[in-house]
Amino acid sequence: MSTILRRKRASRLSLGPYKRSELLFGVIRYPLPAYYTGYGDGRGTDLTAFISDEMRRDWAVNRGALLEFWRSGKSIYEAFPEDALPWLPYHGGSADTLPWAARHLDQFVQREGPQRGTSCGAFEKRPSRQKAPP
């Protein structure tokens, strides 16, 4: 007897369509709240209010692929046909612009081991480049 294995369709990134869209465009949409899997809480629409260690990790892990998509000029439907949702923004940027996450999350750098003052210890704000007094 043979076994049939079924796999859930997913993009080649570890992100779902909502998180991918939010990192790229900075827009939260809740058209089907029961199926929403993004960073928001089901009510708020200001994505900066939901910046978290999870979001920073997702950006750090998927940054290269998301920037490649953004600069390609392709639509979400061309780049991620397996899980594109029609109510989410669909067209990337260009080589001259940056996605939302690059503008809001690149100020953070990943550190090795736990750091004080962060909930999971993985991220810390990049130190400023001020010279120390002599």
Which CA distances in Å does 80 have to 16, 117, 121? 10, 37, 32
- Classify residue 95 by its DSSP letter: T
Which CA distances in Å does 102 have to 105, 108, 112, 127, 133? 6, 10, 21, 17, 32
Residue-level pLDDT at 11: 45
Q: What percent of the chain has pLDDT over 70?
A: 70
Residue pair 102/67 in contact (Cβ under 8 Å)? The answer is yes
Query: Mean pLDDT in the chain?
Result: 80
Task: Give pTM, 2 decimals.
Answer: 0.72
Domain chopping of the chain, boundaries: 17-125
- Classify residue 69 by its DSSP letter: H
User: Is the pLDDT confidence value at 3 over 80?
Assistant: no
Facing residues of 75 across strands?
Answer: 91
Span 14-73, pLDDT tens digits: 799 999 999 999 999 999 999 999 999 999 999 999 999 999 999 999 999 999 999 998
User: Is the pLDDT confidence value at 1 over 70?
Assistant: no
* Residue with the two structure tokens 């594109």: 84
Residue-level pLDDT at 13: 62
